[in-house]
């Protein structure tokens, strides 16, 4: 039986910020069976593809072409002929210096159906993130997009420098860092004023973005002094003078800071997004993972006897997820909780319950075990039965205090926290090379497990790194290592943690 030919989608991934992909591009990616992607595609976008989708890296950089363009073209045809939905994920826009036109021609010649999903091109996005409008009626109404990735001997044959210098208001050179001095010389030689403002934007729209502004005459020396490296966009024109007035992205409070996120994988991305919203570059290296208990029998027994409890006490999102997982495994749903008062520690835990269609009856204002005890102390606890699904490292404060009030507390282990060994070498390497500005800790276990993973010299490697803690118990674990907490959350939430780190740098 002949396999029906699949379709190739040439999708623009945008310039770096994963939020700049189009809605249609994201939809295509989420339906992909094969993703063939470039070097500058943000890795977070690859996570949007289905887990079973084939992922094929074909990235190229200057002097490094592990997969020639001819082979990329062949891959598109090969996978489409297997009946697959193929996403050719390209940085920026496929048809602006992305060789998308060549790939589309190859597909047409081989009878492969294709669609193009435009993306935001690097020059437009990088300029906007640097505070530079590409056009402005007080300065210019014309724009030229030029490839700067040319061999010097070909420059005169491919570029009309006289027209570029005199007839276009704003010039955007892509991939031109290696030829920056040539670009400067040719523009000045053909009539552009040496005093024309120029901006070179490296890693545009990402937390690593850096911008150097100088005159056309001085830009080469300024870039060399700043140590700017590719990938970069070069903008030439009077609109560059608006940067100081309109800059917004690199004014963010954590811009330029590289922050290590140690939280478990399921929650680490959320914390990283909050940090990136404030301008930080994040490194996701979880030191712990959340796993089911080694012995599920106590939790299963608790689920079987839910009708015998008066209160269900949940102290974290992990506790909510684990409890609801056991509830489903026991072929039960929210109806099994009828008659129980649901108690949550803090609004985040309450919102986690809402995600399962459950409403907390009581929410502790203090986001710690002490807050729960204080909340329930005002109620009659004598004779009450409380189910408290907990982590394997949880303190015994809640059972001890509530039982002293006359309650019976059943506290089976619902999940366990284990060190994530696979990130050991990466974390050590980052700390040894002094690449990390700050590290966030969201529990005492993240502190203890980072120290265990890094080894005996943990205190030495973390010396000079800004340590941010989610609360007093976590801070105490940091101090036991002989280290100083520079930022402690006023409220034990991810938002509170990020606010504390931001206030430290302010």
Number of C-beta neighbours around residue 48 at 10 A: 18
Q: By three-state DSSP, how is residue 150 classified?
A: coil
CA–CA separation, 114 and 345 (whole Å): 52
String of b and e for 14-36 (b: at least 16 CB within 10 Å)? bbbbbebbbeebbebbeebbbbb
2, 17, 38, 449: which one is catalytic? 38
155 catalytic? Reply is no
Of 21, 89, 17, nearest to 55 by C-alpha is 89
Of 214, 199, 209, 148, nearest to 178 by C-alpha is 148
List phi, psi (to 5°) of 8: -100, 130
CA–CA separation, 314 and 340 (whole Å): 12
CA atoms within 13 A on the CB side of 142: 8
CA–CA separation, 182 and 175 (whole Å): 13
Of 465, 500, 494, 504, nearest to 481 by C-alpha is 465
257 catalytic? Reply is no
Q: What is the signed CA dihedral for 244, 250, 254, 260, rounded to 10 degrees?
A: -160
DSSP state for residue 217 in the 8-state scheme? T
> Strands 170-174 and 288-291, how do they pair?
unpaired
CB-based burial label for 109 (10 Å; 0-12, 13-18, 19+): exposed
2, 17, 24, 60: which one is catalytic? 60
CA–CA separation, 411 and 39 (whole Å): 49
Residues linked to residue 206 through DSSP beta bridges, in sequence order:
none
DSSP state for residue 297 in the 8-state scheme? H
**Is-contact 204 175, C-beta < 8 A?**
no
CA–CA separation, 79 and 36 (whole Å): 10
Point out the residues that are catalytic.
38, 60
């Amino acid at each position: 039986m002949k396999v029906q030919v699949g379709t190739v989608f040439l999708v623009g991934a945008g310039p770096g910020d994963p939020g700049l992909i189009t809605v249609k591009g994201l939809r295509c990616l989420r339906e992909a069976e094969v993703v063939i992607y470039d070097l500058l595609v943000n890795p977070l976008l690859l996570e949007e593809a289905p887990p079973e989708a084939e992922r094929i890296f074909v990235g190229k950089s200057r002097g490094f072409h592990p997969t020639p363009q001819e082979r990329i073209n062949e891959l598109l045809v090969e996978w489409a002929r297997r009946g697959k939905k193929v996403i050719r994920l390209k940085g920026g826009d496929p048809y602006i210096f992305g060789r998308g036109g060549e790939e589309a021609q190859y597909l047409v010649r081989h009878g492969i159906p294709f669609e193009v999903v435009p993306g935001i091109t690097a020059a437009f996005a990088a300029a906007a993130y640097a505070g530079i409008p590409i056009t402005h009626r007080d300065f210019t109404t014309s724009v030229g997009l030029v490839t700067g990735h040319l061999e010097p001997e070909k420059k005169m044959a491919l570029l009309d420098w006289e027209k570029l210098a005199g007839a276009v208001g704003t010039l955007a050179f892509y991939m031109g860092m290696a030829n920056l001095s040539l670009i400067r010389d040719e523009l000045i030689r053909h009539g552009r004023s040496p005093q024309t403002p120029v901006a070179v934007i490296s890693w545009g729209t990402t937390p690593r973005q850096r911008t150097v502004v100088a005159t056309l005459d001085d830009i080469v020396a300024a870039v060399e002094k700043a140590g700017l490296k590719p990938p970069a966009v070069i903008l030439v024109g009077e609109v560059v003078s608006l940067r100081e007035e309109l800059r917004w992205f690199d004014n963010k409070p954590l811009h330029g800071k590289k922050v290590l996120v140690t939280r478990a994988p399921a929650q680490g991305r959320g914390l990283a997004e909050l940090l990136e919203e404030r301008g930080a570059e994040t490194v996701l290296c979880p030191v712990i993972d959340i796993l089911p208990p080694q012995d599920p029998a106590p939790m299963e027994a608790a689920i079987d006897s839910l009708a015998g409890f008066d209160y269900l006490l949940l102290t974290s999102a992990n506790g909510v997820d684990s409890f609801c997982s056991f509830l489903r495994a026991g072929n039960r749903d929210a109806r099994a909780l009828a008659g129980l008062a649901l108690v949550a520690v803090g609004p985040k835990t309450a919102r986690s319950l809402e995600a399962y269609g459950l409403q907390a009856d009581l929410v502790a204002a203090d986001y710690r075990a002490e807050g729960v005890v204080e909340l329930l102390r005002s109620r009659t606890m004598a004779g009450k039965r409380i189910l408290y699904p907990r982590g394997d490292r949880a303190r015994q404060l809640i059972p001890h205090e509530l039982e002293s009030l006359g309650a019976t507390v059943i506290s089976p282990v619902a999940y366990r926290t284990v060190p994530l060994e696979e990130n050991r070498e990466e974390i050590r390497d980052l700390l040894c090379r002094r690449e990390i500005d700050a590290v966030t800790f969201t529990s005492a276990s993240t502190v203890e497990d980072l120290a265990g993973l890094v080894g005996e010299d943990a205190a030495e490697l973390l010396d000079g790194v800004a340590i941010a803690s989610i609360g007093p118990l976590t801070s105490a674990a940091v101090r036991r290592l002989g280290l100083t907490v520079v930022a402690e959350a006023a409220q034990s939430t991810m938002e509170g943690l990020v606010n504390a780190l931001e206030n430290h740098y302010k």
